[in-house]
Amino acid sequence: MIIGIGIMLLTFGLMEVKAWLMHKYVLHGFLWKLHRSHHTPKKSFFEWNDLFFAYYGLLAMLCFIYGSENMDFRFWIGAGISLYGFLYFVVHDLYIHRRLKIFGKADNVYLRALDIAHRVHHKTRGRDGSESFGMLWVHPKFIRLAKKTASQRNVAGGTLLN
């Protein structure tokens, strides 16, 4: 069980690396036709880009199916992919893009930096010229910017940062 949880957490971490590489070199590369829907104004609730979510869901499902009989490494890989997918949905679709109006803007520096990095990524509507391709890893420059804007808000609002 401990090894399985380790495999799940390792898979979760590797999914961020895979997501970054896939986003930069595949989605902004030869599969731009599908990903472009995510960089253009919304015409409906769903986008062609959502097919990638289905791809990872299918991959996780196959890992669960083939790994559940013996609860082997495939099961735990499927659990790691699913955990990443769930967090991706909550952070990216619900928090950042507000596909459902559940979350407001957070005061948390990390979440603010994540939001800034994602807006910087989307400022370029085309295939080329984007930066910040990850979902959870945020470049330190965006964390510094989020801290700066938080301190400016707190000074303007009459409060002090600890």
| Of 5-14, 34-43, 152-161, highest mean pLDDT | 5-14
CB neighbourhood size of 148 (10 A): 11
* pLDDT band per the 50, 70, 90 thresholds, residue 75: very high
Structural domain count, the chain: 1
Q: What is the C-alpha separation between 107 and 91, in angstroms, rounded? A: 15
Distance CA 27, CA 34 (A): 8
Instruction: Give the pLDDT mean for 89-103.
Output: 81
Model pLDDT for residues 15-58, shown as the tens digit of each residue: 999 999 998 999 899 999 888 888 877 777 788 888 888 999 99
In this structure, what token pair is assigned to residue 23? 């986003």
Decide if pLDDT at 116 tops 80: yes
Q: Which of 94, 85, 151, 148 lies closest to 118, judged by CA?
A: 94
Q: Tell whether 19 is covered by a domain.
A: yes
Lowest-confidence range among 68-77, 78-87, 143-152?
A: 143-152
Per-residue pLDDT, 154: 59
Residue 162 placed within a domain = no
pLDDT confidence tier of residue 162, bands split at 50, 70 and 90: very low
Specify if 78 maps to a domain. Answer: yes
User: Rounded mean pLDDT of the chain?
Assistant: 86
Is 98 part of a structural domain of the chain?
A: yes
Q: Which of 62, 61, 39, 37 is nearest to 51 (CA)?
A: 37
Q: In this structure, is residue 161 part of a structural domain?
A: no
Across residues 54-78, what is the average pLDDT?
95
Higher pLDDT, 89 or 82: 82
In a domain, 47, yes or no: yes
* Residue 15 belongs to domain spanning: 2-156
pLDDT score recorded for residue 4 = 95
In a domain, 66, yes or no: yes
Within-domain flag for 9: yes
